[in-house]
Chains A and B, each alone.
Chain A
Amino acid sequence: MAIAETQAVPRIRARGSITEALGGFRLWWLVVPAFVLFLCFFVAPAASLFAIAFDKSVPGVVTFAGNFTLDNFVRIFTRPLYYLAILRSIGIAAVVAACALVIGYPLAFVIAKTEHPGRNTFLMILVLSAMQLDTVIRMYGLMVLMGDNGLINGALMSIGLIEKPLPLMYNTFGVVVGLVQVTLPFMVLSLIGIIKAIHPSLEEAARSLGATRAQAFWRVVLPLSMPGILAGSLLVFALSISSYVVPALMGGWKVMVLPIHIYQQIAETGRWQFGAAVAVVLFVTSLFAVFIYHKAAVRTAGGRT
């Protein structure tokens, strides 16, 4: 028995990890459950949604008939109701990305430069908690704050500064504020790492060459944080253009953006094919925006070197 065991040892090959022991072929099995789940319930459904977008529109009918047509898309791009919604969605998302950048950059800067570990962790927990909290709950807070009888209008009226409530909500302004609130943490998190990676000696070098603090910031630190600025803006743009719940609550269905059109077409009029076509347009628009940002990012990086 003892002899058999000592003989068996060299055959095991002491250098084997579990992946090696499983072998190249059997390692595949680890990824199979997730792969199959995604194939059946993500790729196939997305493909079927894209397919019915090219189907003839029959109200109330969702089954795929195979009558190929471009009518749904023609309708979207010829009716002002829909093509203006595309432009409105893009415009709102762009304004939100700009606002989130303007107030998010300083916050990211402060967090990146705070080296005290306790204070740093505390700030990160604040940002992460705000990010992870369900959007609907955060909108509840904003609606209590910004409504006609809300805290801001109530306070301003009770000190006699205004007589009628300011229109803070159920308009584009409210939607933008809501989206900035929701997307700000994503902007901050995209920026912290990049700002941290800029070596302080670069700024010091600029200062020692006679630059003022502002000049050192604008000409050294800000250009070096460009990758984070682009990544963050892109993320915020994509999140804003595809948000349904914020325009629904803060806009009160008066600010008609693409996700609201999609829901309305399907839940209220039962036009599945047309709703699917609007969904395809929304998806392609956000992909296109990603593409443009990517081009801009490459050009910015190219201009630097």
Chain B
Amino acid sequence: MRDESAIPLVFKLIAGFALLVLLLPLAIVVLAGLNAGDYLTFPPQGLSLRWVKAFLSSPIFLSAYLYSFLLALAATAISTVIGTLAALYLARSGSRAASFLRGYFMLPIVLPGVVLGLSLYVFFTTTDIGLARTFTGLLICHVLVTSPFVIATVTASLVGFDVSLEEAARSLGASPWTAFRKVTLRIIAPGISAGCIFAFIVSFGQFETTLFLSVPNHEPLPMAMYISLRYKFEPTAAAAGIFAIALVVLSTVISSRLVSLRRVFRA
């Protein structure tokens, strides 16, 4: 009760306003996608599934959604594997190289998205290695952007890890690989899963890096929505947004479960 009274009323009011700024656009997207009229106007014209149906039968938005989903799955799989391996090295090597590499792996987040996408496009075009505007080129870009999130999350889950647990398994006769698989991997699994979810969501929402790299006629969802917003402004895009919002809320709820699971492990 002390903590509740410690919050001044002004703060509560501004915090409410901040939540409104954060959530109102999401609510509007949902309303626009479920709206019965051609546009969401004031006052709204009632609810219908018209635009949701339009999304489910739209060749542009549905295929963009599936394309983004596939791209995010591939990027997540690759960055989870190489990111977890790198995090194991970073957490266990006390060498000076490890602290250098920790910064090195965070660089793609520091470089502005437009600049990163542009530099990859220039590189693919000048070296002529056949990656410019291909799925593989786009995938490489997404792996670069998502790996730092996996590395950071898994490294964090390894920080409090007690190596003597693995040693105990070894002293009971387990091989190094078995000890790693049955002890270490089980304990850091929530961290890896959370990193996985982060990577998926980051890849699914990538727009700026994709600007120069997207494959002609195969736009990821953010790109398809951007084109619609700039030139046509269809409510179908809002219906596609509803499905993206559902995906993000679901994954955030799951990852918050994983984080609290991790707390249970530490307690």
Contact = CB atoms under 8 A, between A and B. Distances in A.
B123 A48 contact: yes
Contact of B18 (A30, A35, A103): A103
Nearest to B2: A200
Contacts of B92: 19, 27
Interface in A127-150: 127-130, 132-145, 149
B86 interface: yes
Contact of A243 (B4, B208, B225): B208
Contacts of B107: 38, 42
At the interface, is chain A mostly helix, strand, loop or mixed? helix
User: What is the size category of the interface that chain B forms with chain A?
Assistant: 35 or more
A90 to B, nearest CB: 14
A109 B15 contact: yes
Interface in A246-279: 248-249, 259, 262-263, 266-267, 272, 275-276, 279
A151 B40 contact: yes
Interface in B97-152: 101, 104-105, 107-108, 110-116, 118-120, 122-123, 125-126, 140-141, 143-144, 147, 151
B122 A49 contact: yes
A284 to B, nearest CB: 11
B119 A263 contact: no
Contacts of A12: 170
Contact of B112 (A18, A180, A200, A283): A283
A279 B208 CA distance: 13
A31 interface: yes
Interface in B64-91: 81-83, 85-86, 88-90
Contact of A128 (B26, B86, B177, B256): B256
Contact of B82 (A34, A63, A272): A34
A282 B112 contact: yes
Interface stretch (A68-76, A110-118, A297-305): A110-118
A140 B237 contact: yes
Interface of B: 2-4, 6-8, 10-15, 17-19, 21-29, 32, 39-43, 81-83, 85-86, 88-90, 92-93, 101, 104-105, 107-108, 110-116, 118-120, 122-123, 125-126, 140-141, 143-144, 147, 151, 163, 166-167, 170-171, 176-177, 179-180, 184, 201-202, 204-205, 207-208, 211-212, 221-222, 225-226, 229-230, 233, 237-238, 241, 244-245, 248-249, 251-253, 255-256, 260
Interface stretch (A79-87, A181-189, A225-233): A181-189
Contacts of A66: none
B176 A245 contact: no
Given A141-B27, A200-B2, A266-B212, A184 B113 contact: no
A259 B85 contact: no
Given A144-B28, A144-B238, 7 more contacts: A18-B179, A52-B126, A125-B249, A137-B244, A144-B32, A184-B21, A276-B122
Given A19-B92, A110-B11, A141-B26, A283 B111 contact: yes
Interface residues of A, number: 96
A154 to B, nearest CB: 3
